[in-house]
Amino acid sequence: MKYEEALNYINNLEFFGIKLGLENMVRLLDKLDNPQEGLQFIHIAGTNGKGSVAQYLSQILFSSGYTVGTYTSPHLERLEERFTLNLIPIEPDTLCGLMEELMHALEDLKKEPDECYPTYFEVTTALALMYFSKAKVDYVVWETGLGGRLDATNVVNSSIQIITNIGLDHTKQLGKTISEIAREKAGIIKEGGVVLTAAEGEALHQIKIIAEGKKAKLYQYGKDFKCRLNQIQYKMADGLKWPVGQEIHYSGRLLDYSNLITRMTGSHQIQNIGLALATVEVLIEQSLKAQNSVNLHQGIQMDKPDININPFKNENSCLVPDIHRLTTSGIHEGIKKAFWPGRMEIISESPLVLLDGAHNESGADTLHESLKNDFSYNRLILVLGLSEGEERKKVIQILASLADEIIITSANTTRALPLDVLTDLAKETGKPFQIAKKSLDALKYAMDKARPDDLICVTGSLYLIGEIRPYFSHTIPFKKG
């Protein structure tokens, strides 16, 4: 099978839309001899932050010597981004080979009396499981697509579940209230599992109820583990200032790190790092328990440059080598190397261009906070495109409040909010705006309008980010004017 054929086959599955439920996945994986069996999953759900937590965890584990498979969605530029082995996207030839094998199972399902037509996401999820099974990875960092309980990824059996936070998003599919959405996302919690969450209020209440019913151990951000910001690292040029990194302090049940450096910016990353490191603590406990090695009655204290590992301080420590590497270097390296494109990403310095897929209300609030507090600029030019959803009116109101000019546009996807609807929403903001039918035209207009001390922020839909980002990474030619 050729690469173009594989892509066309997968892309044509968009016709079947989104179908919540596990029946298709169970039948499909059974045809594939259940590649998910024997893999160790860390399952991540939540409204925002899933991808960042996945990147932190994957980088930490890889930097510690583990083989890591990571499944995330959506992709920005290429389908291969969804499936990474040790942080490297799948090779096209490998993807084609897996797709050819998978197609036999898909054709068999179509021939059965009750025809089964798996969706785009179900097929990519199956591809990920096949890939990681063949690679015999040590850990799979496994991000949900939509929700949790009925999400295709929930066909696996995980020992650790992470629920980042809960906000109003995908309300048509998941429910109209925070409580309803929380119950859906908490559906990934497994019997006897370990759950880590940064959810608050009613969402946390619902998660507690489900965790208790599943006899799962629950650890909460702010109670059992926490992070704080030491300082933000800035870059300054030509009267502009923008963040390029953060120094974080983490304090948990076992670990304490005083100066972790991340190049991912925004206050939300503090919480995401906390969730990732709290997960590492659980992995340490599970590893040591499996080794029957040591009782963790004290914390492992990390405070570079003077590293103290307590109670594993001497050379004869019974701390297994992989855990020792994780705690002494893997965590620092992993946090520092972690990167998630299209999220608070400075893609150009001349003019200054920020990409951020703030596609829901809580994401828009976070971007607004950062634009207000972490950047200095003269004028803010907003390039905005949104996908359909009931909460989009609030998103545009939040994002437009700081803008001096808005350029509304539409990504080339059936999920894009129609321009006439977006125009009406833009009018309600009271801000001057322009309309560009194509994303490239919107970007050209913004770059022509921008003065040296202005900031261009491309935001809203991740589909829009995925279309514009290649022009800066030089995979697609681009000229101003």
pLDDT in tens, 99-154: 999 999 998 888 887 778 889 999 999 999 999 999 999 999 999 998 899 999 99
pLDDT digit string (tens) for 416-453? Answer: 889 999 999 999 999 999 999 999 999 999 999 999 99
383: closest CA among 330, 440, 342, 339?
A: 440
Decide: helix, strand or coil at residue 400.
helix
Would you state the pLDDT for residue 359?
Answer: 86
- Which range of residues forms the domain containing residue 428? 345-472
Give the C-alpha separation, 481 to 470, whole Å. Answer: 18
Looking at the structure, do residues 213 and 230 belong to the same domain, yes or no?
no
pLDDT digit string (tens) for 68-103? Answer: 999 999 999 999 999 999 999 999 999 999 999 999
Looking at the structure, do residues 358 and 216 belong to the same domain, yes or no?
no
Task: Tell whether 480 is covered by a domain.
Answer: no
Q: Which of 167-181, 310-324, 352-366 has maximum average pLDDT?
A: 352-366
Q: What is the mean pLDDT of the segment spanning 189-209?
A: 98
* Residue 385 phi, psi dihedral angles, 5° rounding: -140, 145
pLDDT digit string (tens) for 219-245? Answer: 999 999 999 999 999 999 888 899 999
**CATH code for the domain in which residue 159 is found:** 3.40.1190.10
Chosen domain end from 308, 337, 366: 337
Looking at the structure, do residues 147 and 12 belong to the same domain, yes or no?
yes
* DSSP output for 199-234: --HHHHHHHHHHHHHTT-EEEEBTTTBEEEEEEEEE
- pTM summary value: 0.92
* DSSP output for 136-199: T-SEEEEE-SS-STTSGGGGS--SEEEE----S-SHHHH-SSHHHHHHHHGGG--TT-EEEE--
Looking at the structure, do residues 215 and 332 belong to the same domain, yes or no?
no
Alpha-carbon dihedral sign for residues 213, 215, 216, 219 = positive
Looking at the structure, do residues 398 and 381 belong to the same domain, yes or no?
yes
How many Cβ atoms sit within 10 Å of the Cβ of residue 304? 12
Average pLDDT, the chain: 89
Higher pLDDT, 478 or 111: 111
List strand residue ranges (DSSP E) for 23-152, in order. 41-45, 68-71, 83-85, 88-89, 139-143
Looking at the structure, do residues 393 and 464 belong to the same domain, yes or no?
yes
Residue type, 263: R
Would you state the pLDDT for residue 305?
Answer: 33
Tokens, residue 144:
């949900």
